[in-house]
Structure 1
């Protein structure tokens, strides 16, 4: 809820265009009042000046005893959710709700947000945008809790609300409401997403929606370096007042490159991100180069098959020639042995014939 700020005694935080606090009268010893008494040309009747003096003294006396506590820091409310604008005072012992008059209104436009007096709500003059959206903590009014419950917070609710409290004394204080809505997880898109080659130009788009207030967008590369200088970002509010963020990054394609888009809500300190990686599967060769590569691969395979066949054939022929050569050598050796034996046999036959003749 933040720190509690106490409105100084007799001080109203709301001022009109002239700088005077709303609901106050001129101080009885102020320069304006003195001039109104002693300089008729200011066109302030003396009787009215006396009345202002008396009324001012009365208001200062009444406001002197009441202190109102409100948050010092802005109240952060989520869009579409309920929130509480805290405001409280310390009631006296004999305090009665019938003595309480409470008004919540917009500080700038004075538009009525909620009113309570005579022990019940007075909503006849309530602004149309707050119908059925406001309530008090009725069971805690007697303890001095005059906080306002605001349902289904809208973007238009953002701003300053003034809490006016009067019992016997009177005082007021302002509460600032800050509306916020978290951004959706970014969606990334790569264009073109096919037929990319290293060095080609590509566009990465990042889109996030339904956030408030305007986001800060940061782009990072694979090394975490800030590359937001190459980015064009636009933020457009929809009918509900929520922002749609559209950011475009221009890059030169590199293999295995990662690009991250971070969307940050400055009020909620919420950060959501998404990444896209360009890997080898995203990079394609041109059609001609692809067919050339396939053709060369087929030719190489065919040549290898032919070479293997030729080598195998030559090896087989060599083996057959060696076998044939061995067979011929064996045949020649057998013939030589037969030739060597034939003369010896002829000599023996001749000797036998000679013996028979004798």
Structure 2
């Protein structure tokens, strides 16, 4: 018998259509399966089975099946060549949809509509996510920094979705919320590049950490920067070593960076003390 004439069981009462209650997390650029099943009990013919996947908000067609085959004439252009059903499992009640190469625009609510004599539908939420690059702390340090001077530390990460939260912490793990400016810019694909600038007052041996939190994927690592002051060398006024034009001792600072799981920055060698001439 041809596939369309095979008989499969389905409930004679109201058809039950089941989808996951929790959001489906789909990774950007990867394939994902939107699970949908219906409850077969009494015999049915595949030619009598109709399945419609739609974008719930707009009713746009994602994938359609009836008369024993796919019907893609009205399929939304953005879904072309990216969807398929599990044909060999339709008779056992599997109406799941394979969605290939997930895009940011795929995020939203999808409806799974099934009809075999009776009909029903259910909706599920798709959340798209993309991991960010390793966080990096960018700094421009002056070797003549003195305690009390202000510096800017910039934390940068890119290629992620959705917009992540950036948290700054000091060496004791305390959150820093003052003097922080964070911005996010999306590219054509909808992926974000994050910039977060922290203005701090220089203190000896101070550590600052930038931590990235993706609302869907969770902690994506951290990058830290430590500003240290080397032990001053012996200094004599008659030689004028280590003094600026005002006759004050000049502090030479070093910057050391490190990264945690999911984050990374290159190591910057400590600045060597210089002698004034």
TM-score (norm 2): 0.78
Look up the match of 2:183: 234
Counterpart pick for 1:198 among 103, 123, 147: 147
Per the alignment, residue 240 of structure 2 pairs with: 292
Alignment pair present for 1:221 and 2:221: no
Query: 2:198 matched to 1:249?
Result: yes
Matched, 1:169 2:118: yes
- For structure 2, the 5+ residue unaligned runs are 1-10, 244-277
Bigger strand fraction: 2
Distance change (3 Å), C-alpha of 1:138 and 1:294: closer
Measured on the aligned residues, the alpha-carbon RMSD in Å equals 2.3
**For the pair shown, which has the larger CA radius of gyration, 1 or 2?**
1
- State whether structure 2 residue 53 is matched by structure 1 residue 104: yes
**CA positional deviation for 1:279:** 1.1
Q: Is residue 182–residue 270 contact of structure 1 (8 Å, CA) maintained in 2?
A: no
Structure 1 pair 174/200, CA: closer, same or farther in 2 (3 Å)?
A: same
Q: Which whole-Å CA distance do the structure 2 matches of 1:260 and 1:84 have between them? A: 38
Unaligned runs of 5+ in 1: 1-61, 296-358
Aligned partner of 1:92 among 4, 23, 41: 41
SS at structure 2 position matched to 1:98: helix
Contact 1:88 1:144 in 2 (8 A): yes
In 1, Cα distance between equivalents of 2:213 and 2:34: 26
- More contact order relative to length (CA 8 Å, sep ≥ 6): 2
In 2, the alpha carbon distance for the partners of 1:199 and 1:116 equals 70
| Aligned residue in 2 for 1:139 | 88
Q: In 1, are the aligned partners of 2:12 and 2:42 still within 8 Å (CA)?
A: no
Q: 2:29 maps to what in 1? A: 80
Query: 1:63, CA displacement in angstroms?
Result: 9.4
Dislocated runs of 4+, deviation >3 Å: none
CA distance in 2 between counterparts of 1:94 and 1:278 reads 74
